[in-house]
Amino acid sequence: MAKGKVLVIGSNATRIEVQGGWGATGQYLNETVVPVWALLEAGYEIVLATPDGTKPHIDPASDSADHFGGDTAAYERAKAFYAEHPAMNEVRTLRSVIAEGLDAYAGVFVPGGQAPVVDLMQDPDMGTILRHFHAAEKPTALLCHGPMAVVSAMPHAREFRAALIAGDVETAQDLAQGWQYAGYRMTVFSATEEKVVEDYILKAKMHFTMPDALRAAGGAVITTPVDFAPNVIVDRELITGQNPRSDHPIAAALVAALDRARAA
């Protein structure tokens, strides 16, 4: 019998706004599969849900053994798992999960890739889910760009995001008043890490950096001085990881938090 259910929330975005147009995006393979493996191995059941109920698109930039420490066997295993395992293919809508009842879930996890910046950051159902887990003080873990989803908990998330794209930080700060996660210590994909993606993958600049966005919302954002060094920060129920190489550390932190909550 499973220890409990963990809600894994994926993105449906395949394109992201950049200065001058749009760039391709998606969800990162390792950031999805590595924590899910850890949760399953620890005895938890996984429920995957997205805004529209379809399976997340994997960003081609993550489709490489490089994100598995060069371990080709681990990479191939991850690809097969994502393609074939029922937990990765029986996808629910966020709305159906809410309707069925969030009390059934022990925790929630949001993988990264830039995709969450497009939809989850401003999705009202995502916001409903996060407010529930915040109020219940249940483990809430988000990785890389995934932490941008916490913006959805504010009542004017869509307008907040639009203000950031317009470069109007003052308006964004006003819209963020009363945000549930204000003052929380957290991390997210850093500005210098993002520049690597802009230069070599997107070939275009983003409208805002992730740390600046979360600081405008009221978060106490901490990133490492060394790009792509693993970094996980735990503050109360919130567990955030900075980048793709934080996949194993955030998995361990989430499992530990779930086990502690279960034993309490």
Q: CA-to-CA distance for 216 and 86, rounded, in angstroms?
A: 39
Q: Quick one: pLDDT at residue 1?
A: 84
Q: Two tokens at 221?
A: 């954002």
What token pair was written down for 72?
Answer: 């080709």
Tens of pLDDT, residue by residue over 165-195, are 999 999 999 999 999 999 999 999 999 999 9
- What is residue 126's predicted lDDT score, i.e. its pLDDT? 98
CATH number at residue 43: 3.40.50.880
pLDDT value at residue 161: 98
pLDDT at residue number 134: 98
- What pTM was estimated for this model as a whole? 0.98
Q: How many CA atoms lie within 13 A of 205 on its CB side?
A: 8
State whether the Cα torsion 137-99-13-64 is positive or negative.
Answer: positive
List the end-to-end C-alpha distance of the chain, in Å, as a whole number: 19
- Chain mean position to CA 138: 16
HSE at residue 137, side-chain half, CA atoms within 13 A, is: 6
The per-residue pLDDT for range 191-226, each reduced to its tens digit, is 999 999 999 999 999 999 999 999 999 999 999 999
Give rounded-to-5 percent helix, strand, coil for the chain: 50, 15, 35
- 20: region left, alpha or beta (phi > 0 left; psi from -120 to 50 alpha): left
C-beta separation of 27 from 56 below 8 A: yes
d(CA 189, CA 157): 19
Contact (CB, 8 A) for 115 and 26: yes
Per DSSP bridges, beta strands 92-93 and 220-221 are unpaired
- What's the domain range around 126? 5-263
Cα within 13 Å of Cα(240), Cβ side? 29
Q: Which residues of the chain have pLDDT under 70?
A: none
Looking up tokens 């924590």 gives 35
Q: Which of 8, 76, 73, 83 is nearest to 40 (CA)?
A: 8
Total domains present in the chain = 1
